[in-house]
Amino acid sequence: MKILKDSLIYLFGELVAKALPFLLLPYLTRKFGSAGFGELSYYQTIGSLLIIVFALSQDGALTRYFYVYGKRNLHNIMLSGYLYTLFCTIIALLYAWFSQSMILAAVIVAAAAQSILGVQLAWRQCQKYAVSYTLIQIASGVLTSLLTVVFLESSEQISPTPRFAALFIGNIIISLIAYYFAQPKRCTKKGSLKILKLSGCYIIAFGAPLLLHHASGFIKGQLDRIVIYQHYPAEQLGIYAAAYQVASILSILLLAINKATVPHYYQAIKQGSLNATKVRQFARYSLIIAPLPAFITYMLPEKLFLWLLGTAYGGVQHYICLFLIGFGLTIPYYLLVNYLFYYGKNKRIASISLLSTGAYLLALFTTTLLGIAWIPLAMIIGNIVILPILFYYVREEKAA
């Protein structure tokens, strides 16, 4: 029953933490207007790309280290990862300084703070500290949301900069408090420069092969907004981005469930109660569930979404339904890819992601020529293509 209890705690925390940012959506869509919200979405995309580089899968490296090697050196893994993030942040800020771009600097520090917070969450997740994990999630969501409203209302001009400043300040404060309560003396001895260097090498060895994997995820989940920003008016991007954020409620739910179950998933594989056959079976059953949220949304009146976002966001329901299909397909993806993650098949995952990304890019540029209304199909196609490949390799892993 512990898996059910932890899942409910993680789910509750994820929902509460994301509820305030979601409640901010009507405020932001009206505050910025469709054009301004499109610009905000564009810089959020840049921030997502920076997080891939700054984080370098430190959360995954920390989790795997705990289950494979134990917790004695866990704190040094955390510290060496932070040093890497600090180095990347300084380099990026120098670029922003030379570019004389205040908004880019705000995006950079916000991305760094989110990367740091992600490591604190991973430290607790791998040790199944569901309550403290949830408290950090909620505190981050509350503080960044409050600061966003305060900064935007205090600003004379409507700009994305206050939003990213709020994300930076809120997340860095929560990260520092969380680090203080991590109590490293309980999990490791005092580290040395040599140990930190070895820990850094471990993070790079784990995370570098996954850059392609995460870059693939970025391309499939974010590149469309950059393409739209270059080819369509900002107003249309605003409608598109607002639909994505509404549909991302499903993504948040699935991510919360995945985070809650991964430790138990790994434990089940280790104990032999979960194998490749069962994983593939669960993944096949999940394909039945994937399109249901989109169908339910399609049956709702569009006036509901216009009431939520504002009258300037006409046609948003069409995009929401398509995005929900794409997000629904991540259910079998999580089930399959976590099996390969457990066995450290990072290079294989990266190769699979690369193939899927190729299919997505082809679909993206094709649908861009057809019109913006067709662009969400690229996400669906990219997520479908990766599934049979994952099915094959999970089956192969059983035979290994």
Domain limits, the chain: 2-208, 232-399
Give the C-alpha distances (Å, rounded to integers) separating 93 from 20, 50, 55, 119, 162: 29, 12, 16, 21, 17
pLDDT at 188: 46
d(CA 10, CA 234): 36
Low-confidence ranges of the chain (pLDDT < 50): 186-188, 397-400
3-state secondary structure 83-110: HHHHHHHHHHHHHHHHHCCHHHHHHHHH
Predicted local distance difference test score (pLDDT) of residue 186: 47
pLDDT of residue 110: 97
pLDDT per position as a tens digit, 311-333: 888 888 999 999 999 999 999 99
Other Cβ atoms less than 10 A from the Cβ of 308: the count is 14
- Give pTM, 2 decimals: 0.75
- The single-letter code of the amino acid at 207 is G
Q: Decide if 33 contacts 238 (C-beta within 8 A).
A: yes
